[in-house]
Amino acid sequence: MKNQNIGNSIDWLTILLYTLLVIMGWMTIYSASLPIEETSIFDISQIYGRQFLFIGLAIPLILVVLFTDAKIFERLSFVFYGLGIILLLGLFVFGVTKKGQTNWYQFGGFGFQPSEFVKIATALLLAKYLSFSQVNIQKFKHQIVSLGIVILPVFLILLQPDAGSAMIFLSLIFVLNREGLPSWYFISGILAIVLFFASLLIQPIFIISAVLIFMIIHYLFNKKISRNPIIYSLIFGIIASYTYSVSYVYDSVLEPHQKDRINVLLGNDVDLKREGYNLNQSMIAIGSGGLTGKGYLEGTQTKGGFVPEQHTDYIFTTVGEEWGFIGSFVVILLFTLLFLRILYLAENQKTKFSRIYGYCVATYLFTHFFVNIAMLIKLFPTIGVPLPFFSYGGSSLWSFTILLFIFIKLDANKVNEW
Amino acid sequence: MRKIILPSVIILSAIVLIAKIFYLQVIDETLKLKAENNAIKKVFDFPERGYIYDRNGKLLVANQPSYDIMVIPREIKNIDTTEFCKLLNITKDYFINKLEKANVYSPRLPSVFLAQLNKAEYAAFQEKERKFEGFYTQKRALRDYQVKDCANIFGFITQVNEAIIEKNPYYNPGDLIGKQGVEQQYEEILRGVKGVKYLLRDKHNKIIGPYKDGAFDTIAQQGKDLTLTIDHELQKYGTELMVNKRGGIVAIEPKTGEILALVSAPTYDPSLLVGRQRSKNYTALYNDSISKPLYDRGLQATYPPGSPFKIITGLIGLQEEVIDLNSTFYCNGGANFGRFMKCHCGLHTLQLNNGTYKSCNSYFGNAYKRTIEKYKDSYFSVDNWANHVKSFGLGQFLGTDMPIGAKGLVPTSKTYERMYNGAPIRSSYIISNSIGQGEVLTSPLQLANMMAAVANRGYYYTPHIVKKIKGQALDKKYTTKHYTTIAKEHFPAMIQGLADVYNVGTASTLKVEGLEICGKTGTAENKIRVAGKTYQLKDHSIFVAFAPKENPTIAIAVFIENGYWGSRWAGPIATLLVEKYVNGKISRKDLETRMLNGSIEDEYEKIENIIFQRTPERKIKKDTISNIKNKIGEARKEEENA
C-alpha cells in the first residue's frame, strides 16, 4: 500500500509550524474573547470554546486528506472547479447576505463560504492545466486560458461583492510568473497598483511627466530591444489614460467605504470615530504593547473590547498588545518560515502539478498573512481577510488546513512518483 | 531568476512588517498617550480661575467649589435608578435621556451627567457614590459673585459646547469657558492651563501607578487675577439710578481711557447664571426680547446722538475757520435752511457761547451749512467733515477690550452718493446732521469717549476695562494717544460753553455748588415701524458731561430710552454720578430721591402695546416693582385696619 509509510514521508517541520500557529492562534482567541466570569475552555457558548471544537474537528479532516489517494486531487480538479463555480453562482439565489456581502450559505447552524472552497479548486485546476505537457505558457492562447481560470472566480466574487477574496486570487500572478508567464504581465500588474496609489496622492500631470521623461531616457539608451516609436507612444498612451481614469474610478466606481479605507491609508483627514476608528484602535492596541507586551491575558485594550472584531480579522492586535514586539516578531517569523518551507518543498517536487499547487498554497497563505497584518498597521487599506490559522472561524480554519494538507499529502507522495 | 521572486517578496514583506511594528511598539510614544488608550488614564488638574477686582482692589468675583457628576456609560452596573434619581432630584426621563447622549458621545469616555451641584447636594450624593458604579464626581470651580451688578461687564462661565471642543483641543466635555464680557475676552488669562497626569491602569481599570514615572505629566498653571478699571461704587450707584429705566451709562477717566462705569439697564444679578439653574435662567433672559437684559446698551446700542453732537459741529466749524467766537447767527424759533428747522432756544442773537448753552439749532445749523459749503466740491466737503468726526472715535469700533461693540455710523460722501444718485450734496439735504439727528449714530461708549477727547482738549486713549493683569503688562494700544483733527486752541471756548450749560443753560437746574461740570443735554427723536405704520415714540433723553472743568477726572455719557428730554432723566443721573465720583458725596438729595424712585416703565409698556398691536383696554397690567410696592402698602393698611 502506498500509504503505509505516510508517517515517514510527510514533512514534520511543516506540520510543527502549522501546529504552533494553530495553538498560538487559539490562545490569542482565548484572551480576546475571555468573558469576565471564567468558564471551561470547552464551553461552546464561548468563542474560544467553539474554536477549540473547530480545531478538534480539523484533525479528522487532516486524516481524511492524508489517507486519500493523492491522484484524486489531480484527477478531480476539473470537477472541484466546476462545483466551485456552481456554488458561486448559486449564491445569487440561495446566498445569505452579511454586512452587505452575499458570500455565505447557511445550513441550519453551519455556515459555508464557497469562495474558500473555490480557492483550493482553482489552485488544483491551475496546477493541473499548467502541468499538461502540451500546454506552453509562452503561447498566447494558453496564457489566456490560465488567466481565465483565475479571472472567472474573481469576477463572480467581485459581484458578491468581496474585494478581499478577489484580491487573494489575483495574487496567483506570482505562480504564473514562476511558471514562465512573460514578465511584462507581472510588471504591468505591479505598475498598475503603484500608479493607482500614486495618482491619488499626486496630481496626474506630474506622474505622466515623470513617465514621459523615463520613457525618453529609456528610448535613448535602450540597445537591446527594437526601438519602435509606435510601441513607445502606445505604452505611454495606455499609462496616461490609466492614470487619468483612476480618479474617475475613485470618484464613480468605488463604494464610499472603500474610498474611506483608501483615505485612511493615505492619511487624509478622517473622522477617528467613524471610518478611522478601527485602524486607530488597532494601532493603539499594537502600539501600547511595547517591547515585551503587557503579558498574556493582561491586555487592557483587548479586555476593554476597544478593537472591533478582535477575534477575527483583528486578532493580531492581541498578539501585539499582550506579547509585545517580541511576540509579534516570533509570530511573523513562524509564518515566514512556513511559507519558505512550503516553497522549498514545492521546488523539490518531481511533478509539475505538485510544484505548482505548492506554489499556490504558499502564495495564498502569504497574501492573507501580509494583507491582514499590513492593514492593522496602516501599510495597506482595510480589507477583510482572515489571518490563516489565527482568526476565529471553522470555515476559515478548515479550508486553510485542507489547502495545506493536500500539499503535505502530495509532497509525501513524491516517493511514489517516477 | 523567477524562482527567487516569491521568496524574496516574502522575506522583504516580513522585514517591512517587523520594522513598522517595531516603530509602533518601541519607538513611537504618541500612540501610548492617546485618549482612546484604555491602559492610561488622563487625570486633569483644573487650576483655579483668576479673581476679578475693581480699580480700588475691591473683590468682585471669586470662586466657589462645585461638583459635576460624570458618567462612563460602559461602567454602569445594575444601579437602583429610582434611588439614584431621587437622590439627585432628577426625573427618570432626564436619566435615560442623558445616558443616551453620553453613550452617543462615547461609551468609554466620561461625559457630564449632572453639572454644578452645590456642597449640600454633593455631600448627599458622595455618601452613596460607591453604590453607583460608573458614576463619579469631578470637582470644578464656579464663580462666586461678591456683587449684584456688573453682569454685563463680567459675562459668565458655561460648559463648552461640541463646536468649541472640535475647534480647540484644549477643552474636554464638561470644561468651563468664559462667555461674554471680560470672562470671554480674558478667557486664557483667567482660566490658566490645566495640568495632566497620566496614570497606568491594569485590565480591571485599577490604577497601578504613574505612567513612566510622570515623564509626560504637566503641572497646572493658575489663572491670573484681573483688576478692572471699574470703580465699583460708581458702577453700583449707576445701576441703582437706572432701576425701572432702560438705557446705558458709560464713564471714562479721560487721562487714561479707563472705563470707570459701564451700566446697562435693565440688568440682572450675575449669580443667576451660576449653578444648576443657569441654563433655565439664561434661557429666560435670552428670550426676553422686549427689555433685552443680555443686550449691553452701553456698548451695543446705537442711537442718534442728538444735541451733544453740536459740540463736534462747533469744533469743526472753528477748525475749518468758517466760524469764530464772534460769528453771529439769528434764530427766530428756528431758521430756514431750504426747509425750516425749528428751535426752542428762545434767543435771537447767537454766538458760540450762548448757542452752546442754549443748544440753539439755528446756530449750529448755520455753522454746519458753512462747513459743508466751504469747498466747491460738496463730496470733498462731506468727507472732510466726516474725517473730523471720525477723529473723535465715532463711526468705528474703538478697539475696547470687550468682546462686543457697535460701529455706529458717520455718513461719508459714499453714503450720500448712493442716496442722491451722485447729485451734488446740498447742505440743506443733510442739515439734520448738524444737530445729531441725521444719519449719524453713536453708542453711549462712543459719546463718553468723545467727551473724554473734549475734556483732554484734543486726544483720547482707547477706552479699556482691564487695568492690571497680575504679572503681565497692559496692551500697548491702551497707552497710545489718539489725537483729534481739532487744534488745541479751539477747545477752551467750547468748554466754556459747556460749563455755562450748568451755569445759565439747559441744565441750570442741575447745578452742583462748588463743582464746575461741563455738560450738554440732548434729545433725540425716534420712531418705530410696526405693521407698515410709523409710530412716533417718546424722545430719548441724552446727557454728556465731564468734570471738573480744569483737570477733568471723569467723562460720562448717559442715555435713557424714551426719557422725554435731556435734562429730565439723563441730565440728573449724569450729574449725580459725576458728583458722586468727584466729591464722593451727594449734595442734591432731592434729585437723588427723584431719580432712584423714578420709573419710565409706563412709557415702555405703551411701546410694547404698539409692538404687539395691543389695544390699551385689553392690556394686562404688568407687575412692575412700583405696583408690587403699592400692593404691599395696601395689604399693610388693611392689616392695620383689621
DSSP code of residue B405: -
Report the distance separating Cα A289 and Cα A14, nearest Å. 29
Helix, strand, coil share (%) of chain A residues, nearest 5: 70, 5, 25
The answer to whether the CB atoms of A177 and B2 lie below 8 A apart is: yes
Q: Is residue A364 part of a domain?
A: yes
Q: Is residue A245 part of a domain?
A: no
- CB-CB neighbours of A251 under 10 Å: 9
- Which of B10, B165, B202, B204 is the mutation pick for testing A, counting most A CBs within 10 A? B10
The complex's ipTM works out to 0.91
Instruction: Quote the pLDDT of residue A47.
Output: 87
Q: Is residue A189 part of a domain?
A: no
- Average pLDDT in the A143-165 region? 89
Residue in A19, A35, A48, A99 with CA at minimum distance from that of residue A391: A48
Measured between CA atoms, how close is A199 to chain B, in angstroms?
23
pLDDT in tens, A254-268: 777 777 777 776 666
Q: Is residue A211 part of a domain?
A: no
Assign residue A55 a region: left if phi > 0, alpha if psi is -120 to 50, beta otherwise? alpha
Nearest CA in chain B to A287: B25
Closest partner CB to B7 (pick from A280, A290, A340): A340
Beta strands B554-560 and B533-547, pairing class: antiparallel
Instruction: Quote the pLDDT of residue B257.
Output: 94
Residue in A287, A260, A288 with CA at minimum distance from that of residue A276: A260
Instruction: Quote the pLDDT of residue A257.
Output: 75
Instruction: Quote the pLDDT of residue A82.
Output: 95
Helical residues (DSSP H) of A227-315, grouped into ranges: 229-248, 256-266, 277-287, 300-304
pLDDT in tens, A48-58: 888 999 999 99
- CB-CB neighbours of B191 under 10 Å: 26
The answer to whether the CB atoms of B36 and A280 lie below 8 A apart is: yes
pLDDT in tens, B1-10: 788 989 999 9
Question: Number of structural domains, chain A?
Answer: 1
Nearest CA in chain B to A303: B203
- Residues in A closer than 8 angstroms to B21, CB to CB, are 286, 320, 325, 328-329, 332, 377
pLDDT in tens, B252-294: 999 999 999 999 989 999 988 887 778 888 888 888 877 888 8
- Residues in B closer than 8 angstroms to A292, CB to CB, are none
pLDDT in tens, A56-99: 999 999 999 999 998 999 999 999 999 999 999 998 888 888 77
- Which of B18, B33, B34, B203 is the mutation pick for testing A, counting most A CBs within 10 A? B203
- Average pLDDT in the A171-178 region? 91
Confidence of residue A304 (pLDDT cuts 50, 70, 90): low
Nearest CA in chain B to A273: B106
Measured between CA atoms, how close is A150 to chain B, in angstroms?
18
Nearest CA in chain B to A284: B31
Residue in B462, B445, B406, B465 with CA at minimum distance from that of residue B555: B445
Q: Is residue A396 part of a domain?
A: yes
Measured between CA atoms, how close is A87 to chain B, in angstroms?
31
Least confident of A300-309, A407-416, B568-577: A300-309
pLDDT surpasses 90 at A280: no
- Residues in B closer than 8 angstroms to A281, CB to CB, are 36
Measured between CA atoms, how close is A276 to chain B, in angstroms?
13
pLDDT in tens, B370-382: 999 999 888 999 9
CB pairs under 8 A between A and B: 112
Q: Mean pLDDT in chain B?
A: 87
Whether the Cβ atoms of residue B60 and residue B146 lie closer than 8 Å to each other: yes
Instruction: Quote the pLDDT of residue A1.
Output: 42
Closest partner CB to B6 (pick from A178, A287, A336): A178
The answer to whether the CB atoms of A377 and B17 lie below 8 A apart is: yes
**pTM of this prediction?**
0.66
Q: Is residue A165 part of a domain?
A: yes
Measured between CA atoms, how close is B215 to chain A, in angstroms?
16
Q: Is residue A100 part of a domain?
A: yes
Measured between CA atoms, how close is A299 to chain B, in angstroms?
6
- Average pLDDT in the A384-399 region? 91
The answer to whether the CB atoms of A288 and B3 lie below 8 A apart is: no
Domain extent for A25: 9-180+276-416
Nearest CA in chain B to A302: B203
Q: Is residue A322 part of a domain?
A: yes
Instruction: For residue B210, give the amino acid letter.
Output: P
- Average pLDDT in the A169-174 region? 91
Q: Calculate ∠ Cα A22-A25-A27, nearest 5°.
A: 115
pLDDT surpasses 70 at B53: yes
Q: Calculate ∠ Cα A14-A18-A23, nearest 5°.
A: 150
End-to-end CA separation in angstroms for chain A: 16
H/E segment holding residue B97: helix B92-105
Positive or negative, the CA dihedral B99, B101, B103, B109 is negative
Confidence of residue B433 (pLDDT cuts 50, 70, 90): very high
Q: Mean pLDDT in chain A?
A: 86
Whether the Cβ atoms of residue A166 and residue A118 lie closer than 8 Å to each other: no
pLDDT surpasses 80 at B483: yes
Beta strands B52-53 and B226-228, pairing class: parallel
pLDDT in tens, B488-519: 999 999 999 999 999 998 888 889 888 999 99
- Average pLDDT in the A304-327 region? 86
Whether the Cβ atoms of residue B159 and residue B186 lie closer than 8 Å to each other: no
Which three cell numbers, joined as nine digits, stand for A395? 470555515
- Residues in B closer than 8 angstroms to A379, CB to CB, are 16-17, 20
pLDDT surpasses 70 at B347: yes
Q: Calculate ∠ Cα B498-B499-B504, nearest 5°.
A: 100
Instruction: Quote the pLDDT of residue A267.
Output: 63
Closest partner CB to B22 (pick from A273, A325, A363): A325
Instruction: Quote the pLDDT of residue B256.
Output: 93
The answer to whether the CB atoms of B20 and A379 lie below 8 A apart is: yes
Measured between CA atoms, how close is A70 to chain B, in angstroms?
25
Domains and CATH numbers, chain B: 40-228 (3.90.1310.10), 232-287+295-604 (3.40.710.10)
Instruction: Quote the pLDDT of residue B421.
Output: 85
- Residues in A closer than 8 angstroms to B37, CB to CB, are 284, 288, 301
Measured between CA atoms, how close is B239 to chain A, in angstroms?
50
Instruction: Quote the pLDDT of residue A307.
Output: 77
Which three cell numbers, joined as nine digits, stand for B230? 471699574
Q: How far is CA B161 from CA B95, B135, B172, in A?
A: 20, 21, 9
Portion of chain A with pLDDT greater than 70, in percent: 93
- CB-CB neighbours of A254 under 10 Å: 14
Instruction: For residue B609, give the amino acid letter.
Output: N
Nearest CA in chain B to A290: B25
Confidence of residue A279 (pLDDT cuts 50, 70, 90): confident
The answer to whether the CB atoms of A332 and B17 lie below 8 A apart is: yes
The answer to whether the CB atoms of B202 and A298 lie below 8 A apart is: yes
Helical residues (DSSP H) of A171-255, grouped into ranges: 173-178, 183-201, 204-221, 229-248
Residues in chain B whose beta carbon is closer than 8 A to a beta carbon of chain A?
Answer: 2-3, 5-7, 9-11, 13-14, 16-18, 20-22, 24-26, 28, 31-32, 34, 36-39, 106, 108, 201-203
- Residues in A closer than 8 angstroms to B75, CB to CB, are none
Report the distance separating Cα A190 and Cα B22, nearest Å. 27
Q: How far is CA B535 from CA A227, A356, B245, B564, B606, in A?
A: 92, 97, 21, 15, 11
Closest partner CB to A304 (pick from B16, B25, B108): B108
How many Cα atoms within 13 Å fall on the side-chain side of residue B566?
27
Quick check: helix, strand or coil at residue B329? strand
H/E segment holding residue B357: helix B352-357
Closest partner CB to A288 (pick from B11, B22, B32): B32
What number of residues does chain A have? Answer: 418
Quick check: helix, strand or coil at residue B634? helix
Whether the Cβ atoms of residue B245 and residue B600 lie closer than 8 Å to each other: yes
Contacts for B279-288 with beta carbons within 8 Å, 24 or more apart? B282/B156, B282/B158
Instruction: Quote the pLDDT of residue A194.
Output: 83
Report the distance separating Cα B378 and Cα B382, nearest Å. 6
pLDDT surpasses 50 at B236: yes
The answer to whether the CB atoms of B26 and A332 lie below 8 A apart is: no
